[in-house]
Amino acid sequence: MAISSLGNVGVAGSNNNAASSRSASQLSANFDTFLTLLTTQLKNQDPTSPMESDKFTDQLSQFAQVEQGIQSNKNLEDLIAMQGQQRQLSALSYVGAQIEAVGDTNWLEEGGELTYKYNVSPEVPRLELQIQDQNGDTVFSSEFTDISGLQTFTWDGKNNSGEVQPEGAYTLVVKPKTIDGKDFTDDRGKPAAVAIGIIGTVDSVDITDNDIYLRIGDVAVPFSTLTNVKLGENGTPVEPPQDNTDPDTDTDTDTDTGTGDGSETSEQEEAA
């Protein structure tokens, strides 16, 4: 499996140090100017009122403090860059891992099936699930009434006529409904809150200067959207990021042997 953009590792670190380098260059130029002015002032000072030594020492001390501050910033930027590179390299261990992430689009392999997770507001009595292809056409739809709490939905890769669909990206659309089948809105006229997640196996990793993407087929999953990771037999457990986790989705981040709420698939009752 190809890992693309691997050559970008370390480029971000060079960019981070650019500001410190510019500041150091400016300080060096200013310090040369300061020494020139100071030397000229010493040569042309009034013999009856020479420069006081404490002022001279104070000015040199201020320049030294600025130089130390710039060097400290440079060292901190180096540490941040090293942490970023370590994070990028650790992402390679996710190849072959089963992940759960916030998102509604998953990749269907030929003859395979797709698994999604979703959660809707508890006051919603029923909903319609649609599977749409890459062109936005609905290839499968079904209505459910048993929708309380976090739900797992597995699509067998067939349309409503039982025909197997081709390999590609497919999107889950969740449409909350009222008892009589109309679009659901709350007492304030707002649509119900819906959270959707995907489950899949990582095929490859894309590393860019701005983010890391785990690929399931041709679907790119941002590293920051992970909510659960189960690594392969040869993988080393790595904690997924938790700062951007959607609170309405499964937040179990067991990366060793557990699968969180994903193993508690609820049986869904099809509406008549």
pLDDT in tens, 3-58: 222 222 333 334 445 555 665 566 566 666 766 766 776 677 767 766 666 666 77
Q: What does each C-alpha distance from 145 to 49, 194, 235 come to in angstroms? A: 94, 15, 40
In angstroms, the Cα distances linking 119 to 44, 100, 116, 207, 244 are 80, 14, 10, 31, 17
> For residue 243, what are the contacts with CB-CB under 8 A and spacing of at least 6?
224
Q: What gap in Å lies between CA 103 and CA 232, rounded to an integer?
A: 22
Look at 123-127, 146-150, 254-258 and tell me which has the smallest mean pLDDT.
Answer: 254-258
SS3 state at 170: strand
Q: List the domain boundaries for the chain.
A: 6-93, 98-263
Nearest-angstrom CA–CA distance, 72 and 229: 37
The span from the CA of 233 to the CA of 253, in Å, is 18
Whether 259 and 230 have beta carbons less than 8 Å apart is answered as yes
Average pLDDT, the chain: 74
The per-residue pLDDT for 90 is 74
| Mean pLDDT, range 225-245, rounded to an integer | 62
| pLDDT score at 173 | 95
**Domain topology for 98-263:** Immunoglobulin-like (2.60.40)
Residues 6+ apart with CB under 8 A from 262: 100, 117, 152, 199, 228, 250
The confidence score (pLDDT) of residue 101 equals 94
Token pair of 177, please?
A: 């409904």
Helix, strand, coil share (%) of the chain residues, nearest 5: 30, 30, 40
Q: What is the pLDDT of residue 34?
A: 66
CB-based burial, 237-252: b 16+ in 10 Å, e otherwise: ebebeeeebbebbbee
Residues 6+ apart with CB under 8 A from 129: 118, 141, 142, 143, 144, 153, 172, 173, 174, 175
Q: Mind listing the pLDDT tens digit for each residue in 77-117?
A: 777 767 666 766 777 888 889 999 999 999 999 999 999 99
